[in-house]
Amino acid sequence: GAVVSQHPSRVICKSGTSVKIECRSLDFQATTMFWYRQFPKKSLMLMATSNEGSKATYEQGVEKDKFLINHASLTLSTLTVTSAHPEDSSFYICSASGGTGEKLFFGSGTQLSVL
Amino acid sequence: GENVEQHPSTLSVQEGDSAVIKCTYSDSASNYFPWYKQELGKGPQLIIDIRSNVGEKKDQRIAVTLNKTAKHFSLHITETQPEDSAVYFCAASNSFQKLVFGTGTRLLVSP
């Protein structure tokens, strides 16, 4: 299947700082990428849909000013958690569709811990 | 909107046994049903998927069945192995790529 690379895999930061997470499609172009959040032993919650060259679409209840998404190229989307607080600690996962099919492939996730 | 329920939440089997995980969905417009396997600390891995115009699909030890009338779909794993131990998520989509996930099933295969 298609490869989606996500970095970093783990990040620890102080409260009030911003953290950027990168999601890259390595062997295909992705006009649309998705960002999810997952709490321990819980399911994946869609946060936003990232569209190349346009503004992201956020799900209800997700603060767009807190979670900034940029999709500047067909192979890269970034999620920036601004002014992070301990409650933002979570596992963040991106996904992208490989080619023209609907199959979604996921990155390896980023564990964010805010102290 | 779409709502996906998944059962059981945990499933323990002996190596070599079969495992079945069931999901139901609410939106009759959903037409794509993938299954993902997630190991601890990793992202979900697509293991099999099925479209609404197909009733069953197999890939070696894994199969998925779909009952559109009842809005049920199931994952079947035969001859389970310890490396099958993981959390499995079903999902449904009616809007091209925007998946709604089930709550997950933690599968434990004991040697």
> DSSP readout, B39-93?
-TTS--EEEEEEETT-SEEEETTEEEEEETTTTEEEEEE-S--GGG-EEEEEEEB
Residue A3 has pLDDT above 90, yes or no: no
Which two structure tokens, joined as six digits, stand for A88?
């933002």
Which of B37, B98, B100, B105 to mutate against chain A (most A CBs within 10 Å)?
Answer: B98
A103 vs B contacts (CB less than 8 Å): 34, 46, 49
CA-based nearest residue to A98, from A11, A28, A44, A26: A28
Identity of the amino acid at B7: H
Whether the Cβ atoms of residue A25 and residue A42 lie closer than 8 Å to each other: no
How far is residue A22 from each of residues A9, A28, A79, B97, measured CA to CA in Å? Answer: 10, 16, 7, 20
Chain B environment of A1 (Cβ under 8 Å): 46
Residue A90 burial (C-beta neighbours within 10 Å; 0-12, 13-18, 19+): buried
CA distance to A1, A19, A61, A96, B110, per residue, from A101 (Å):
11, 31, 29, 11, 36
pLDDT recorded at residue B97? 67
CB neighbour class for A62 (10 Å; exposed up to 12, middle 13-18, buried from 19): middle
Q: CB neighbours (10 Å) of residue A7?
A: 13
Question: Which of these, B1, B8, B45, B9, lies nearest to B25 by C-alpha position?
Answer: B1
Mutate to test the interface with A, among B46, B93, B96 (most CBs of A within 10 A): B46
pLDDT of A49-104, one tens digit each? 988 888 899 999 999 999 999 988 889 999 999 999 999 999 999 999 765 566 78
Q: Which residues in A lie closer than 8 A to residue B44 (C-beta atoms)?
A: 44, 93, 106
Q: Which chain B positions have a beta carbon within 8 Å of A104's beta carbon?
A: 34, 46, 97, 99
**What average pLDDT values come out for chain B (111 residues) when binned by 10 residues?**
94 98 95 94 93 92 96 97 97 82 96 93
DSSP letter, residue A59 = P
- Digit-coded pLDDT (tens) for B75-107: 999 999 999 999 999 999 986 668 899 999 999
Distance from CA of A107 to the nearest CA of B (A): 6
CB contact A108 to B (< 8 Å)? yes
Inspect the interface and report whether the beta carbons of A106 and B102 lie closer than 8 Å: no
* Subunit contact B43:A34, Cβ cutoff 8 A: no
Percent of chain A with pLDDT over 90: 70
Query: Which tops the pLDDT comparison, A13 or A55?
Result: A13
Residue A1 has pLDDT above 90, yes or no: no
Query: What pLDDT is stored for residue B95 in this prediction?
Result: 67
Look at residue B103 in the predicted model and tell me its pLDDT.
95
pLDDT at A32: 87
What is the model's pLDDT at position A28? 84
Contact B43 A97 (CB under 8 A): no
- Amino acid of residue A111: Q
